[in-house]
Structure 1
Amino acid sequence: MPRISKRIIATLQPAEKDYIVWDDQVAGFALRVWPSGRMSYVVHYRANGRFRRYTIGHHGPWTADKARDEAIKILARVKDGNDPNTERGEERTSPTISQFCKTFIERHVKTHLKSTTQAEYQRAIDLFIIKKIGSRMVATLTHSDVVAFHHAYRHIPYQANRTLGVLSKMFSLAILWGVRTDNVNPCRGVKRYKEQKRERYLTTEEHQRLGKALDDGRSAMPEAVNAFQLLLLTGCRLREIQRLKWEYVFLDEGIIRLPDSKNGARTVQLGESAIGLLGDITRVEGNPYVITGRKDGGHLTDLEKPWRRIRKEAGLHDVRIHDLRHSFASDALELGEDLVMIGKLLGHRDLKSTARYAHLKKEPIQRAVKGIDLKIFTALVSGGSESNI
């Protein structure tokens, strides 16, 4: 039983009946020689208690080395519990992941999810799923494929995990809708990345630097500056400010009524500064949005670029836009507001989301520690010799 090679193939002659030449390197890999002289690379394997033969391709388009590598991949799939012949049949009728994404969006995302969640799903699909695995077949994507897909975005663990969640939901529905007939969700069991919770809040001095940078940048990018100031003064989410319409704003009552925030409809109370800011913003005829964009009738969609410019000017290189919301909550905590009130200010559904702010902001913590330290030290000194403390 020789190693199938170009030299061996050159010596093979057709016979009255087809015959098999086995490879001595990869068990199950072989070359089939037909009476016509045509030769095909095949791999033999056992699946579901039956011996099966899978044709890789004809000699010519396929070389022996290329076919051997393919045989190794096929046998690895068999070891994982897959049947390549069954997969090939399903592949002929299976939609690509890109095609199925359209069905998933129409039948599930647009039908059952809130508009804010729809946008998150659409972003994950457009920027990550279709870009990376859109051409793959729904029926044949494996667990190993998903592990590799998830690993490709390891540098952005939060987004990698959210995208994996979207992909997993897609495959659960692919099974339910009969598109994935093996009833296997390849996303199951993929270990999520650990996500570090950031504790980044603006100090008073940082607020001052940011305020100056915003004032300096107003003439060049007034809409973006208005958005950042509203984020600072209201504690709203970025999307809530980006998509804020004038019909939601009631300056005489000092409130914003959001019909569809992340956790449903909610009312945002406004302080005097926020009311003054909104009162100074010029309304654009024919545009319903407070923060207008370049397109007629649209809102400003990209705030990352102007934010990078502003934070560079302020020397706040590690501060994200979402940290402005965190700072709003932390400032409220420092002023003595309890977690229940802070949760209401932020529009949280439950106290768990607000609890992360209970132990944050270094300045008040440091003041408390210094106060406790002084109290204990004073008591100790009054009861003994200071030199022994």
Structure 2
Amino acid sequence: MRSEAQKTASFGVERWLADRITAGWHLLTGRPVSLYAASVLRIGYGLLYLIFLLREFPHRAEIWGPDAPWTPALADQLFEQTGWKSILTLSDNRGYFELCYVFAVVTSALFVLGWRTRGISVLFAVVVTSFHARAIFMTDGGDNLILLMAIYLVLTACGRRWSLDARRARLKAARAGNAPEPAGNRLARQLRDARTTLITVVHNCGMFVIAAQVCFLYGSAGLYKVQGASWGGGTALHYALNLQLFRPWPALSHFVDEYTLLVAIAGYMTVLLQVAFPFVLFGRLKYPVLVMLLGMHIGIAVFLGLPLFSGAMIVADAAFLPDRFYAFLPRLCRRVVQRGDGWLSVPGRAAGSGTVPTQGGPGALGSEHRVVLPAGRKDTTAAVEPAAPQVPPKRG
């Protein structure tokens, strides 16, 4: 009897495991996930790097070019030890460097627009890697994160939404209409299906790697802070606000530092949010956590003068918002625009009329008007119609 129970329990476990494996395989190969989030990552990191290149345009030669103290010869010696490569070290010619810089700016702009994203994403990763490796001793955490994300985005289908590629696909589908797709032979159909499945699997794996990277980043940062005495004592942000290198507005930093209790609470909340982040991703608690992390990164950008790092982290956090949120954004914007048009419209004014009634006249809105609600209408939108003028009684 006991052996039968053990067999039943073993069969139940095997069936449960098989169901989980089947569900996981279907999730991996069924359809590409988080297409809107991938597009937000593409636009966000492409725009950040484009702004970064334009911001450093006056100093480009001193950072990456021929006038840099870290010469291409020194960079090549370091590359022999680290295995890095950079297209900027292929020549010392100034014209070649200017051409590479223009190429980087154009590539970043095309990556933001989503033009031929499959190939441009590879070029964008090459650009980011080359500029990062050329001046590796001048990089920080934001540069490292952008580098990793540029490489990961090569694996994703980040041009399926909000891109020129998506617009071209819509126009092509509209022109094709309901025309039947050519059948082709069986081998061609199988190759198309295999290609679609492969793209889906690679995209889903790329998004999973991006999510795992952000979780590791937050978790390791939180655990590292826990080991520090200043974070445990609540004084870490006090010291950060008084570092001369990270004080873009000293008066503002001094003003905030006067509220010692709030500064200590902000330090404890920072550690708590970073440690708890990987554990709240599968519930609704992640939304308030993401909002608080957004506030934290804005504070880092303003008070510590690290806008590139904060921007990179904010874009990375956007990967955890569901596609239904991004799909709702255009409808929300249209509603706001329509409501704004309603606010700007003048009551009692005919559509398309170019004149405004004179105040106090027969057509003006005032005590001589009454609001008439149409039959069956219960909302505040009403038709305004002038009331009959009051004729004073004749005196004998």
What interval of TM-score do these two structures reach, taking the shorter chain for normalisation? under 0.3
Higher relative contact order (CA 8 A, sep 6+): 2
Q: Which has the larger share of helix? A: 2
**So what's the TM-score if we normalise by structure 1?**
0.23
Q: Which has the larger share of strand? A: 1
